[in-house]
Amino acid sequence: MKKIIITIDGYSSCGKSTLAKQLARKLNYTYIDSGAMYRAITLYFIQNNVNWSSHEEVVAALKSIHLDFVINSLTGFGEMYLNEENVEHLIREMVVAEKVSEVAAVKEVREFAVSQQQKMGARKGIVMDGRDIGTVVFPHAELKIFMTADIEIRVQRRFKELFEKNKNITIEEVKKNLELRDYIDANREISPLRKADDAIILDNSHLTHEDQLKLVLQWVEDAI
Ligand code: C5P
């Protein structure tokens, strides 16, 4: 069967990665979490005291960053490696979440990440989620989805996820971080979060995972 590129963009914690993984599994496609790349770059900047307002420091730091997705044989999904170290868990921590949108707004950082993302899509058969995948990374993708969900539902989902790892986290903290990231992502100068004109909107506030997958598989069939 013909392989296509599926892009999933949207606000933070809409369930983009859950849908992307469901699709990748069902279609035998590769799932690529583009947000993990921005998170890994942010982690490197924090660990190495890189001042991301300085063009020179950013350019020099990016030269020392090697990003890679390595498949976890148990889950079948790629995990983020930063300079040969598995950082899949570290990049999900709040210290990274608090800074990632600032770092992702830097032009050189975006160019660095986007060119690698485009190479990953060269052979098609991928599902990539993020903020600018349908608008900038793959403007000619065969199927583009723009996800939304009620803010309160998104906060609850992210809180549940983070609380499992850190019992000190509060709902207010999670809500503040989501709103701030959404604001910066949608209002930055370069590649702001936007629905591509040809993207289909998916509001999954009240959809079960099964219903969502059924619906989107129909869209995939239509796109092939
Ligand atoms: O998807 P996730 O929430 O892990 O992404 C973390 C952050 O990375 C986003 O809030 C956004 O600032 C940035 N990002 C981006 N472009 C993408 C994916 C993520 O700017 N394609």
177-214 tens-digit pLDDT: 999 999 999 999 999 999 999 999 999 999 999 999 99
Ligand 1 center from residue 99 Cα (angstroms): 11
Tell me, what's the ipTM?
0.99
- 30: exposed, middle or buried (C-beta count within 10 Å: 0-12, 13-18, 19+)? buried
Q: Is the CB of 12 under 6 A from ligand 1?
A: yes
The CATH number of the structural domain formed by 5-215 is 3.40.50.300
Q: Is 13 annotated as a binding residue?
A: yes
Protein residue whose Cα sits closest to atom 16 of ligand 1: 131
What does pTM read for this prediction? 0.94
Which residue, by CA, sits nearest to atom 6 of ligand 1? 35
| pLDDT given for residue 152 in this prediction | 93
Ligand 1 pocket residue status of 181, Cβ below 6 Å: yes
| Ligand 1 proximity of 39 Cβ (cutoff 6 Å) | yes
Kindly provide the residue ranges of all beta strands, DSSP E only, lying in 106-208, ordered along the sequence.
Answer: 126-130, 143-148, 200-203
